[in-house]
């Protein structure tokens, strides 16, 4: 039960942060969902840092990992919103933005995870 509460708390906090970031940065007049993009990249970097640190030192407890990685990062990042926004680009016929947004999100997301895990080596 404690594990569920930690995931719930972290996920709720991450979701609130993603909502605020989206309200601040998503500009649908330009059609570019910068808030979603930034949430996914920052969440990828953060999970790389968290899990990289845990793997390196094992100083993070399983509870802390559940709170931060599973809960917060899971609530903060959003594949479903990314997929919906990509669908909307396709639906409107904006194939260039669809391709750029999709490829950039995936490539930079992976790079952010690897960067986070690499940065932990210096801590």
- For the annotated binding site for Na(+), the residues are 74, 77
SS (H, E, C) 69-84: HHHHHHHHCCHHHHHH
Annotated binding site: 74, 77
| Furthest CA-CA distance within the chain | 49
């Amino acid at each position: 039960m404690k594990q569920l509460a930690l995931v719930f708390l972290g996920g709720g906090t991450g979701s609130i942060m993603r909502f605020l970031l989206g309200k601040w940065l998503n500009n649908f007049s330009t059609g570019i969902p910068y808030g979603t993009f930034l949430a996914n990249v920052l969440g990828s970097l953060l999970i790389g840092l968290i899990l990289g640190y845990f793997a390196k030192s094992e100083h993070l407890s399983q509870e802390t990992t559940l709170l931060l990685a599973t809960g917060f990062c899971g609530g903060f990042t959003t594949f479903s919103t990314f997929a919906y926004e990509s669908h909307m680009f396709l639906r409107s016929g904006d194939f260039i933005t669809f391709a750029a947004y999709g490829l950039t999100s995936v490539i930079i997301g992976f790079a952010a995870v690897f960067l986070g895990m690499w940065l932990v080596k210096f801590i």
